[in-house]
Amino acid sequence: MSLISRVVDIPLFLHIESECIEKIGDILSQNNLLFKNVLLLSGDTTFKAAGRRVVDILTGLGKSVDVMRIPDSTIETAERVRASIKDSNYNVVIGVGGGKVIDVGKYASNLEGINFISIPTTVANDGICSPVSVISYKKEKRSIITKTPIGVIADLSIIKDAPIRMIRAGIGDLLSNISAVKDWELAREIKGDNFDEFACLLSSRAAESVLISDSNDILSLEFLNKLVGSLTLSGISMGIAGSSKPASGAEHKFSHALDVISKNPALHGEQTSLGLIIATYLRGDDWERFVSIFGHWGIPTKAKELNISKEEVVKALIFAPKTRPDRYTILEHIKINEKKAIEAAEKTGVI
């Protein structure tokens, strides 16, 4: 019998530090990435914050760089990028920007079979290193399995300057892992779902390392380093699992439902923060712990802080099971209905 081994897809390189964008030339050559033709994706603001600098460094090294602006993460935009890769001879796609730029980059590069480098300018969610792209089809957002980026360059001096709301949302998305893992354990117990211990260990430990942090300053380099590292590990846990299950349970279904129902959806990580509090309550676990730490870090714990109405919260909780019908969570387990939704949202102070 031959030896059995398991291959885990992780990036070739990972740099999380201040000013590391300046070293992109060295990073590429150290990894023998000697490509010539680059497609760089960026948003308007993020191009000014970092994209232009990356273009300058790469062209200075003799590389040819085309820039495409990414206004959103709709399927139309993602397919436009894909068509552009198909029609050209790019060797690599580099995404310099927030979640939408990186989602579109992972989607298009994976389908066209070329490598993708992730240079996040914000950390509002755990997509910076995950093999999952969230793409919008009209109002519905779909999570599509793609490929883990070949490398991640997270320049903390740029991430620090992004709106603090983004960082708070990133914390909310990360801490959701604690709830998501509980849901997967429940699905294993009740539905016999295939469970991945290693993916869940990585995902929950990544979240807990930030949860137990006693930092009073979420903009400190020390805290940001921990947060970005943990979001990276969260992404890798999804790669190990081959699905978003270690980082997406009932709290994510609630967020997906709000995206459909709410007139003004908030940031993904802000919505999962509310979902995390409610899902933890429904499980009978210590939800007040999350309200307390979120309050400490200025993360919204009430729907009205996000301009989401009471009715939208209740409707979203009832609609949530339909957003991922194949994923069993605490919402299906307790057979969520209007009465239970109102009670949970009121008791936790979310509405």
CB-wise, 275 or 321, nearer to Zn ion? 275
CB of 247 to Zn ion, least distance (A): 6
Q: Is 251 in the site for Zn ion (CB under 5 A)?
A: no
Residue/partner pairs of 54-60 with CB below 8 Å, 24 or more apart: 54/21, 54/24, 54/94, 54/96, 54/119, 57/21, 57/22, 57/24, 57/25, 58/24, 58/25, 60/25
CB of 66 to Zn ion, least distance (A): 30
- Cα–Cα distance for residue pair 247/203, rounded to 1 Å: 7
Closest residue to Zn ion: CB criterion: 173
Stretch that binds Zn ion, among 47-55, 167-175, 179-187, 277-285 (CB under 5 A): 167-175
- Cα–Cα distance for residue pair 331/244, rounded to 1 Å: 17
Query: Strand, helix or coil at 48?
Result: helix
**How many chain residues bind Zn ion (CB under 5 A)?**
1
Identify any residues that bridge with 96 across adjacent strands, giving them in sequence order: 42, 119
CB-wise, 20 or 276, nearer to Zn ion? 276
CB-wise, 173 or 259, nearer to Zn ion? 173
Q: Is 173 in the site for Zn ion (CB under 5 A)?
A: yes
CB-wise, 115 or 143, nearer to Zn ion? 143
CB of 112 to Zn ion, least distance (A): 25
Structure tokens at 283: 């499980």
CB of 85 to Zn ion, least distance (A): 26
CB of 122 to Zn ion, least distance (A): 14
**CB of 214 closer than 8 Å to CB of 141:** no
Query: Which of 130, 106, 123 has the alpha carbon at shortest distance from 240?
Result: 130
CB-wise, 46 or 179, nearer to Zn ion? 179
The residue type at 94: I
Residues of the shown chain interacting with Zn ion in the complex, contacts defined by CB under 5 A: 173
